[in-house]
Every structure is written in C-alpha cells, then in structure tokens.
Chain A
Amino acid sequence: MSKENEKTIGRREFLSSAAVLTATIPLALTLTKSLGASPLKSDRMPGASASAIRNVPVDSGVGTLEEELAKAGFKGATKSRQVKLRVPTIAENGAIVPVQVDAGPASKVKKISIFIDKNPTPLAITINYKPDNGKAYFNARMRMKKTSNVRALVVMKNGSKLYNSKLVKVTIGGCG
C-alpha cells in the first residue's frame, strides 16, 4: 500500500511517525527554557577592546561613544564586581534615573567616570577623588534618553582600570 501511493501511508506508519513527533515535545520545551532565561539579565556588553565597542552615531557633532570612551581611557579596562553599580532595572522616569557607584576606599581611586551609552553625550560625569573622601562613593539622579547601558569606569591611582555596566530600561510611563 505505501509503495503504490506515496501521499498516504498505513496506520502503523502513521502511528510511529506521530510517536516521533510527540517525543520532540520535551526537546522543544527545554529549548524554550534556555532561550527564555531571564530576558532582563542582558548584562552582556561589548568586550573591553575598543574595536568591539559599537560606534553609536549621534545627532549633533558631540563625541561618539567610541571617542568618549577612548578619551576617558577605557581601553584595557576589565569588568569587575568590585565596582558596585546600583541602578534600577526599569526607570520610572527617564529624566530621573538614580545611579549609585561604590568603588571601595578613596585612597586607592583616582577618578570615576559614568557613561550612559545612548545619550547624545555619552560621558555623563567625572568625579575626582582624594583620600579625605573616605570611600569612592557617588550617588546622583541622571537623565537617560532611551534604554541603554550605564557604565562606571574607575581609574585607580596605580593605573589599573575597572568597570561595571548594567542595562536600564526607560519606559514611557502610565497616564501623564
């Protein structure tokens, strides 16, 4: 029967093919689980080398992200959890996004630079520290134009550079 007519098959062949199909269900489920893991934890960031940093074009002739990072000495910085960067996952209002940076004792830190990648001027603020500060701590409210990474670059007195970055989602907000 299956030899004569290729479009239709017998009951047994149909049942065995259906069994194969059913067996793929657990495979499909595990696939979606791994794809859907924490969509908000996209902490992924372009690598530290300048060539991997994407060139974000801006509208009015102020430095691009790549230029500003290079000027601030981002090249060769390593990502480190020692730089405690605290930002909200979702910003209620893009005009008021709290950014908190804590980089350990101030005697070891020279300066901290904060970048907001997709702003027209990515370099937001630079703070120069002295040992009298006690702790290299900074907390402020910033403006963000759209959803983007917020990076904190810490330049130590011994020349080493550490950074940390997190993604902040900027929403339109409810009524008004």
Chain B
Amino acid sequence: MAAIGKSIISTKTRGDLVYVRTILIHPQHTGRAKDKKTKRLIPELYVNRITVKNGGKVVTTMNAGAALSQNPYIEITLSASKASRIQVTWRDTSGKSWNNSKSV
C-alpha cells in the first residue's frame, strides 16, 4: 500500500459550488483491535483534526474520533466564487500532520 501520509485532493465545480473531495492514506487504529500475531492491542492512532483553508484563511475545521474509516475520505463544499487555493491539513493523535493543496 502507498505510504502513510499520501493524499489526493480532487475538486469538481457544479453550479455555484465547488465539491472538494480528499482522501488520506492512514491506518486509523482505534485502539481496540488486537494484532493477530502478537495478540496485543494495537495502540490508537487516528486522525483527530482536519482543517481546510481557502487562500490562506481557515474555512472549515473538523474534530473527529476514531470513527472515520481506514484511509479516511472527506467531502465538503466551497462557494465557487470565493474558492481559490484550497489547502487541507490532517493531524493525527500522535501530533503528526500532513498538508496537501490544490488550486481551483
């Protein structure tokens, strides 16, 4: 599988809205599953904060639990007249964060 932290942003303009879809490669360990080989609980590691910026200004913030599925996928909208350069930042429980950006 592709390395953790790689992401894609895809945008589609429909009428006066820009649909922003983004996906991140991340294992999303909930902290409740056991490793099949070692029989120990896999420690939790999941994305807990997602920030979407448009032209440098914060537009949407999301606080998530472990409920997003593996390789989390998110889709939101932006007003087409205001959308310029979209930047998505994902941050997980270990503090690591990843950025990706795309111009509309």
Interface on A for B, CB 8 Å cutoff?
60, 95-97, 106, 116, 119-121, 123-135, 137-143
Least CB distance, A142 to chain B, in whole angstroms: 5
Residues on B with beta carbons closer than 8 Å to the beta carbon of A120? 30, 32
Q: Given B58, B60, B66, B82, which contacts A121 in the complex, CB threshold below 8 Å?
A: B66
CB-contact partner of A143 in B16, B60, B67, B80, under 8 A: B67
Proximity bits, B4-16, A CB within 8 Å = 1, else 0? 0000000000001
The answer to whether A124 and B67 touch (CB under 8 A), given A133-B77, A133-B78, A135-B77, is yes
Within 8 A of A (CB), among B30-71: 30, 32, 54, 57-70
Q: How many A-B residue pairs have CB under 8 A?
A: 90
4 new A-B contacts, CB < 8 A, other than A121-B67, A133-B78, A134-B79, are A96-B69, A127-B61, A132-B54, A138-B76
Measured between C-beta atoms, what is the minimum distance from A122 to chain B in Å?
Answer: 9
At the interface, yes or no: B74 with Cβ under 8 Å from chain A? yes
Count of B interface residues, CB-CB < 8 Å: 32
Contacts of A141 in B (CB 8 A): 68-69, 72-73
* Bound form: Cα–Cα A133–B57 in Å: 12
Interface pair B65/A137, CB less than 8 Å apart: no
- Quick one: closest B residue to A96, CB to CB? B69
Minimum distance in angstroms from A140 CB to a CB of chain B? 5
| B62 contacts A126, C-beta separation under 8 Å | yes
Residues of A contacting B59 in the complex (Cβ-Cβ under 8 angstroms):
130, 132-133
Contacts of A134 in B (CB 8 A): 16-18, 77-80
A131 to B16, CA, bound (A): 13
Question: What 3 A-B pairs are tightest by C-beta distance, nearest first?
Answer: A124-B67, A134-B79, A139-B75
Known: A130-B60, A133-B60. A125 touches B80 (CB 8 A): no
A148 to B80 Cα, complex, angstroms: 36
Tell me the complex Cα distance, A69–B19, Å. 29
Contact of A140 among B61, B65, B73, B80 (CB under 8 A): B73
